[in-house]
Each structure stands twice: as structure tokens, then as C-alpha cells.
Amino acid sequence: MTFEPGMVHPGNHGDDPRAARRAFLAAVVRRPVTMGAVVPSSSRLAAVLASVVPRVGSPVVVELGPGTGVVSAAIDERLPAGARHLAVELDPDMVVFLRRTRPGLDVVHGDAAQLATLLADRDVSRVSAVVSGLPWALFDTATQSAILGEVSRVIGTTGAFTTFAYLHGMSLAGARRFRRTLRDTFDEVLVSATVWRNVPPAFVYVCRRPHRVRPSNG
């Protein structure tokens, strides 16, 4: 994911963007195979990812791999009062960072491949949207399928799922495999215009109506 300098979200209580950059780079050093990039996402890409978040009602929205919280800010800008926003993060130090800088965010320390269980532990069985910042091209087929199966389960037939890919990475075997897996998993897979002012340029997948939805836990 990429970073746009000078961005401070009001919910951060004035947190220095340089602190977010340092936290992200530290996570890259700890988990270079699963981070997928060396800096967080731009606000422009974050806005496209968050475009499926409902502005009315009492939606439940889940983030996968929130990183330093750039996309979290875009989601919060759309959420109405009474909404619920959860973020699943695998890296323990990033969990600590997010809980410190975004006290209003329900940060869940866990693996996205166990998403339904993590949400069930919080009395959530269905969500309005899942927004992902995970590096899909770095995952093997089994991991991609497992996480998408969990996403399908929690969004059901009415929710939406967004994630992104880097334009330059589409030649990678993992990226091509992921695109095929998306089309095998969802009835609708839309591709956004390229966000050229992201570094590197990226686009967003918007997915709805999983072909097979497993029963929820309750």
C-alpha cells in the first residue's frame, strides 16, 4: 500500500504521519513476505476502496490488513452514526499502533483466514462490506481461496467486497491467479479506473454476490 505525505486524519488526535510511516516500515522488516509494499496507501486509493461503505443505517464494516489506518480513515468518513467498524490485523505491533492512534476502531488481532470465527466471537455473523488491503499476489492458491471463502461467508448475498491490485504487478502469476479466483468466487467483479496518483498506480476490484455462501455461525 502507498502513502501520501502530509495526511493527518482528525481521529488521530494529531498523530504525526511520520509515525505511521515508521510503524509501516517496521512491519515490512518483520514480515517482508506478507506486507506486499514498503509504504501505506494513498487517500485517493483509500476512497475508492471505501466507496462500498453504506452511508445510512447501521452497517457493520470489516477491514482486512488495515496497516497504519489510511483506509480506516476513508471508511470512517462514510460511516453513519451507530455503525460498527472492525479491523483484522495479523501483525501484533501494528495492532498496538492502531489501538493507540485510532481508539474508535475495533482492532482484532487475528488471521483473515479465520474471519468468520473472529467475527462470531464479537457477535457478528453478517457484514455490509469487507474492505481489504491484503497482498493477494503473494498468497498461494489455498490461502487466497480460504480468505475469499471467509469473506463470502460474512458478506452473504447482500454485502460487498473491495480490494486492490497494483497495475505493474498484473503480470505476476499470483495476481493473474487471484483475478481468476475472484471471478470463480463472485457473480459480479467490477474493476475501477486506475488510480494513477497512487504510488505505484493501482486499481480496485469491487465484488458482490458470492456463488456459494456457507451457513453462518448462528
Which comes out higher in pLDDT, residue 20 or 43? 43
The pLDDT of residue 157 is 95
The reply to whether 90 falls in a domain is: yes
In sequence order, what are the residues at sequence separation of 6 or more whose Cβ sits closer than 8 angstroms to the Cβ of residue 29? none
Looking at the structure of the chain, the number of domains it has is 1
Q: What is the pLDDT of residues 168-184, one digit of tens each?
A: 999 888 899 999 999 99
pTM for the structure as a whole: 0.82
User: Range of 191's domain?
Assistant: 10-210
Confidence of residue 19 (pLDDT cuts 50, 70, 90): low
- Could you tell me if residue 218 is inside a domain? no
pLDDT at 186 over 80: yes
CB atoms within 10 A of CB 14: 8
Q: Is residue 216 included in any domain, yes or no?
A: no
Q: What is the domain-level CATH number for residue 195?
A: 3.40.50.150
The three grid cell numbers given for residue 66, joined into one nine-digit string = 488495515
218 has pLDDT over 60: no
Classify residue 5: in a domain, yes or no: no
Residue 175, in any domain of the structure: yes
Q: How far is CA 60 from CA 82, 87, 94, 144, 202, in A?
A: 9, 11, 22, 23, 26
pLDDT at residue 3, rounded to an integer = 28
